Amino acid sequence: MNQILDPIPEDDSKKLICCYTNATGSIQVGRITNIPNWYFERVVFPGQRLLFESVEGALLEIHTGMMASAILSDSIPCESLIVNIEEDSQSSLVTNIL
């Protein structure tokens, strides 16, 4: 999975494939700021799934949009958002959200 705009840092950290679902009726912003030399920010619309690549130790901050502002509503360790990707017998990918 390529994140062309903000590639994850090239170091010895294990790369994780993660998924976050906006289960609210509000627009949210997912942001990772605790990893040196990397900044990740994406808008997540109501009902939308955000599939992204991260590294160990990253925290996904969820900011919920309000009128002319945003409130930090949650901070989730990316390890708890890991997606399990397996290949089935017909070589297509099967994705299970843990």
- For domain 15-97, the question of CATH label 1.20.1250 is answered with no
Q: What percent of the chain is helix, strand and coil (3-state, nearest 5)?
A: 5, 55, 45
Please report which helix (H) or strand (E) contains residue 49, including its range: strand 49-55
Question: pLDDT tens, 29-78?
Answer: 999 999 988 889 999 999 999 999 999 999 999 999 777 778 899 999 99
DSSP line for 4-43: SSSPPP-SSSPEEEEEEE--SSS-EEEEE-SSTT--EEEE
What pTM was estimated for this model as a whole?
Answer: 0.75
Question: Among 51-55, 87-91, 93-97, which range has the highest average pLDDT?
Answer: 51-55
